[in-house]
A and B are shown apart, each in its own frame.
Chain A
Amino acid sequence: SESQHDYNVYHSLEEIQSWMFEMNRTHPDLLDMFSVGKSYEGRPLYVLQLGKRGHPHKKAVWIDCGVHAREWIGPAFCQWFVKEGIASYQDDSVMRRLLDQLSFYIMPVFNVDGYHFSWTTDRFWRKTRSKNPKFHCRGVDANRNWKVKWCDEGASSHPCDDTYCGPFPESEPEVRAVAKFLRKHKKRFRAYISIHAYAQMLLYPYSYKYATIPNFSCVELAAHNAVTALYSAYGVKYRYGPASTTLYVSSGSSIDWAYRSGIPYAFAFELRDTGYFGFLLPESLISPTCTETMRAVTAIASGLLKKC
C-alpha cells in the first residue's frame, strides 16, 4: 500500500509500477495515470499526471527520470516529487498554487527495459535494450536518439558504444512514444525537465552547438533561481549553463529536441554526486538529494507562472 512504499530506498521497476497504480487509485483528485506507448521489450511506458483537475488546456511541465538505466537516483526523485506534491498540496500554498495552475506529467522510468536490466543483470547498463540484427551489441543511448542534429558531434554511430545514436532518429520506441506525446500537446508544455546523474549540474540548450538560445536571459534566470533554491537546502553547489559549454557538446539530446519543438524552458539535471559514489549513490543520500532537487524544480515551475 501507499504507506508502505519507502521513498528512501531504490525500487525495482515492478515496485515502481505497483506504486504508481496505488497512488493513482488513492489520489484520483490529483493524479491520473496513463501510458504513452510500449518499450522495445513490450513494457508499458507509464506517466503520472499530477495536478488539480481543471481546465483541459492547463499549462504543463514534463519531468522524465531514468533515461539512462544506471542512474537510479532519477526514478527515486520522480517518486519523491509525486509523493511531496500530494503530501503538501493541502498545507503548502506554493505547491497548491503550482498544482492548481499547472499539470505535471511525470515519467518515473523512461527507459523501462534498461532499468529492469540494470536491476537483474548489468548494474551499469546505460542504453535501451533494442536489438539490431546486423550487430551483436544491443541498445541505443536514448539521449542521443532525438530528432535534432541527430548523430553528430558527441554521439557515436557505432552500436557498441555507450553513446550510440541508433540506426535512425526516434528509432527507440521509448523516445518515439514520448516525442509523439509531447508533439501532440506541445502548446500546453511550458517546461521539459529530464533527470540524470551524476555531476551536480543544471543544463539547458543548446547541447549540439555553441550558441545562445533566443530566450537566454529568462532561462538563465530560471536556472540561477533553481540552483540557488537547491543550495538553500544543504549547501550543495550546482554548476549551471548551456550544456555544450558547461558539460560538452552532444547531439540528439532530449532537451535540444524539446526546445526546438517550442517548449520554452528545457532543462537536464545531473544530480549528485561529483564522483565519490557516482552511480552508486547510497540510499542514505536519497532524501537530501531529492529534497534539494525538489526545491529547484518547484523554483523552475514557479517561474513559469510569472512573466519573464
Chain B
Amino acid sequence: RLYNNRYAGDQVFRITPGSDEDVRVLKDVLEHVKVDFWQPNSASLIGPNATVDVHVKRGDTRGLRARLKQEHIDHQVFISDLQREIEKQTGNRSSRQRR
C-alpha cells in the first residue's frame, strides 16, 4: 500500500466558521488537535466565513467532529478516506513503479 497505508482512515474536514466568535472557538479547538492545515496555511490565518481545510488523523476524527458539532460550527468531510484518495490519484501504478 502506498506510504505503508499510513493515511488509512485519515480525513480532510472543511470547516466554515461563521462569526468572529466561531473563529475564536475554532482556533481554540484546533490548538488541542494535531491537524495539518491545507488551507489556509496556519491557524493564525483563519477568518470568518473563510473555509478551513484540515487533514485530521484517523484517531482524532471522531473527537473533532463531536467538538465542532458541540460548538455548532459548520463542517463537512470532503475527503473521507485519504489513503483511498491517494491511491486513486496515481491510478493503479504500483508504488515501486512510482518510486
Contacts and interface: CB of A to CB of B under 8 A. Distances in A.
A21 interface: no
Interface residues of A, number: 29
B42 A275 contact: no
B86 A280 contact: yes
Contact of B91 (A9, A123, A124, A250): A9
Interface string A270-301: 00000111111111000000000000000000
Nearest to A141: B41
Interface in B1-43: 2-3, 7, 12, 14, 36-42
A9 B39 CA distance: 24
- The main secondary structure of chain A at its interface with chain B is loop
A275 B85 contact: no
- Chain B interface residue bracket vs A: 20 to 34
Contact of A162 (B12, B41, B78, B88): B41
Contacts of B2: 123
A280 B53 CA distance: 13
Given A276-B78, A277-B85, A280-B79, A248 B3 contact: no
A283 B91 contact: yes
B45 A278 contact: no
B3 A121 contact: yes
A121 B99 CA distance: 11
Contact of B53 (A10, A122, A161, A275): A275
Nearest to B89: A280
Contacts of A233: none
Contacts of B79: 277-278, 280
B37 A162 contact: yes
A120 B99 contact: yes
- The main secondary structure of chain B at its interface with chain A is mixed
A112 to B, nearest CB: 15
A248 B51 contact: no
A302 B80 CA distance: 43
Interface string B39-57: 1111011010001010100
A278 B78 contact: yes
A248 B38 contact: no
B42 A156 contact: yes
A307 B1 CA distance: 54
A86 interface: no
Contacts of B12: 278
B55 A124 contact: yes
Interface in A138-189: 141, 154, 156, 161-163
Contact of A119 (B42, B51, B55, B98): B98
A278 B52 CA distance: 12
A162 B36 contact: yes
Nearest to A274: B51
Contacts of A247: 40
Contacts of A277: 79, 85, 89
Interface of B: 2-3, 7, 12, 14, 36-42, 44-45, 47, 51, 53, 55, 78-79, 82, 85-86, 88-91, 93, 98-99
19 contacts: A9-B91, A10-B90, A119-B98, A123-B7, A124-B55, A154-B45, A156-B44, A161-B42, A162-B36, A162-B42, A248-B40, A275-B78, A277-B79, A278-B38, A280-B79, A280-B86, A282-B89, A283-B90, A283-B91
Given A119-B98, A199-B39, A283-B89, 7 more contacts: A154-B45, A156-B42, A161-B42, A163-B41, A248-B47, A277-B79, A278-B78
